[in-house]
Amino acid sequence: MGNRVVSQAIPKVDYKALVTGKAVYTDDLAAKDSLVVKVLRSPYAHALIEDINLTRAELVPDIECILTYKDCPDKRFTMAGQTYPEPSPYDRLILDQRVRFVGDAVAIVAGRTKEAVNKALKLIKVKYEVLEPVLDFHKAKDNPILVHPEENWKSLCPVGADNKRNLCAHDSCEEGDIEAVLANCEYIIDQVYHTKANQQAMMETFRTYTYLDTYGRLNVLSSTQVPFHVRRILANALDIPKSKIRVIKPRIGGGFGAKQSVVSDAGSEGNTENSALDLPLETPIPQKIFVDVCGAVVNPGVYELDEGVRIFQAVDAGGGYLPEAAINYLNRARSIGDGQQIYVPTEKEVAENLELAMAKVPEALNDGDNSGNLGLEEIQGSSVENPSGTVGRDTGSFGDGVGDDTRINLNTADAGQLSTLSGIGQSKAEAIVAYREEHGDFASIEEIMNVEGIKEGTFSKIKDKISTG
């Protein structure tokens, strides 16, 4: 056996998948129609939730579920992925009436779209009884302010834990007569040391996807290092038998010990009205759009694609180009939005309509460039971005996309549609949507200049392509 191994190269089993980007991770296995989950978080370091009003939030379309502490089992558990019995105390609930730090979970919202979940989070009304917190760990022990005063708190191991003294664990080890030894030492160093907080940073974040199978068993696909510990912890938290839970661990994109817990990323949302934190969504989930791909493509049709896709990706969804397609007349890198038509002309159609197309480009597509140097990308832009524009059809020309019926409505368009405007990328498009959600509908197109990052120069490029109704 040694002759076959020593001094011989041993290929890594999955090396090819790793270097080609085909390795399968948790997010690759998640169903595309999975619900979007976000968490409303506490703005207070210590408080009791007096009331949570979900009435308006539950009326938001595409919202499937909103959970509060009233919906969760009153059974405490630990999130530490440790060997049973765990040294860490059972001090957590899925959602608790008492919040103990800024960012503690208050409510969980699940919906079919990110936009719906974000809207619902803003409509949750929370009334807090703000309590005095313990912020200095030097003063925490035996402090009259208890972090965990609850009676169902428990510690399974004799590690000196005592919730009535704010002690998670406590121990000291001595052997022999310490004072006598120190008395004979020439030098004595008496110092208190504190270590700084640290966190491993892996390529793949803490990801989890769950579903119920036909047997009613909870299947958990998670980027975790401790699948069996996760099963035990979830069984405790949900108060169900371990036999009802199956944990699947695909390839981990880095763990380093940090994934020895049941921590998993969930989107968080700010809510100034509720004084909630403005925490970002850690894991953006692409929304779906519908695009009509037609013309000189193998399989014309309407395709459901991820928001933010480019023209070349839409054409790929349609089976690719036909041999007669005028590929060079398409800006294949251009992003597209929901409801748009991507028409791929043939070389013959372009040749027959090029003169008319060039005549329409300056007013519709020049985007403020007064040089008069119109490239082929500008020529094709009108046919690609105009939902009704076609080449060589009834119009006999490339659609110019400047009529009122083709303008993008600032009060109804989503981020994908807005991002197709000249000078408006994905970030500015999302800023427009956020501004609209906060301030209401745009009263005029000029109001868009109130959005951060959109000034007069950008407005001048898009003013003929937008409307408010």
Mean pLDDT of the chain: 81
At 400-422, the pLDDT tens digits run 333 334 688 898 888 878 888 87
Whether pLDDT at 455 is above 70: yes
Q: Give SS3 for 403.
A: coil
Q: Is 258 exposed, middle or buried (0-12, 13-18, 19+ CB in 10 A)?
A: middle
Structure tokens at 416: 């994908």
At 208-246, the pLDDT tens digits run 999 999 999 999 999 999 999 999 999 999 999 999 999
Q: Please state, in angstroms and rounded to a whole number, the distance separating the CA atoms of residues 361 and 350.
A: 14
At 130-160, the pLDDT tens digits run 999 999 988 999 999 999 999 999 999 999 9
At 329-350, the pLDDT tens digits run 778 888 888 888 888 888 887 7
| 88 residue type, one letter | S
Q: Please state, in angstroms and rounded to a whole number, the distance separating the CA atoms of residues 205 and 106.
A: 23
Name the pLDDT band for 3 (thresholds 50, 70, 90). low
Structure tokens at 276: 């909630």
pLDDT at 354: 55
CB atoms within 10 A of CB 213: 9
pLDDT at 125: 94
Q: b/e string for 135-163 if b means 16 or more Cβ within 10 A?
A: eeeeebeeeeeebbeeeebebeeeeebbb
pLDDT at 105: 95
Q: Is 177 exposed, middle or buried (0-12, 13-18, 19+ CB in 10 A)?
A: exposed
Above pLDDT 70, what percent of the chain? 83
For range 192-207, the mean pLDDT: 84
**Distance (Å) of CA 58 to CA 71, 110, 115, 383, 412:** 15, 11, 14, 41, 22
| 81 residue type, one letter | G
Could you tell me which residue, 338 or 88, shows the higher pLDDT?
Answer: 88
pLDDT at 11: 81
CB 117, CB 65: distance < 8 Å: no
Structural domains of the chain, ranges and CATH numbers in brackets: 27-134+266-274 (3.90.1170.50), 288-405 (no CATH), 408-467 (1.10.150.310)
Residues in contact with 214: Cβ distance below 8 Å, sequence separation at least 6, in sequence order: none
Strands 288-295 and 267-269: unpaired
At 278-295, the pLDDT tens digits run 333 333 445 788 888 988
Angle between helical axes of 426-439 and 114-123 (0-180°, round to 10): 30
Q: Please state, in angstroms and rounded to a whole number, the distance separating the CA atoms of residues 196 and 190.
A: 20
Could you tell me which residue, 378 or 14, shows the higher pLDDT?
Answer: 14
Q: What is the pTM of this model?
A: 0.55
At 434-454, the pLDDT tens digits run 889 888 888 889 889 888 888
Name the pLDDT band for 392 (thresholds 50, 70, 90). very low
- Which runs of E-coded beta strand occur in 161-317? 208-212, 218-222, 245-248, 267-269, 288-295, 301-306
